[in-house]
């Protein structure tokens, strides 16, 4: 039994569904990272940023804020 099945048995189906989606996404990311070459991943990232520049800026800003907080402490 995994974590999402345990939540579903407790009657918390919406949290279970969200957790299942998160787990599935993390597994897809892990499979992608383990099966792709670094250059292919870089090109994929560049293409995503070209397709969605606003999201790229928001993610970059968020990572900058997190990095700044980590360095400050």
pLDDT tens sequence across 16-57: 899 999 999 999 999 999 999 999 999 999 999 999 999 999
What is the span of the domain harbouring residue 61? 37-73
Torsion of CA 17, 19, 25, 28, to 10 degrees: -100
Q: Are residues 21 and 46 in the same domain?
A: no
Q: Are residues 48 and 16 in the same domain?
A: no
Q: Model's pTM, two decimal places?
A: 0.56
Residue 41 CB contacts under 8 Å (≥ 6 apart), including other chains: 32, 33
Enter the tokens of residue 31.
Answer: 């499979």
CA–CA distance, 26 with 34 (Å, rounded to integer):
12
Q: Are residues 21 and 2 in the same domain?
A: yes
Q: Are residues 72 and 44 in the same domain?
A: yes
């Amino acid at each position: 039994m995994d974590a999402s099945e345990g939540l579903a048995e407790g009657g918390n189906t919406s949290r279970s569904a969200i957790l299942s989606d998160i787990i599935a996404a993390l597994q897809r990311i892990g499979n992608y990272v383990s099966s792709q070459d670094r250059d292919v991943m870089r090109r994929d990232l560049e293409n995503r940023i070209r397709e969605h520049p606003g999201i790229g800026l928001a993610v970059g800003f968020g990572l900058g804020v997190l990095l700044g907080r980590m360095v400050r402490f």
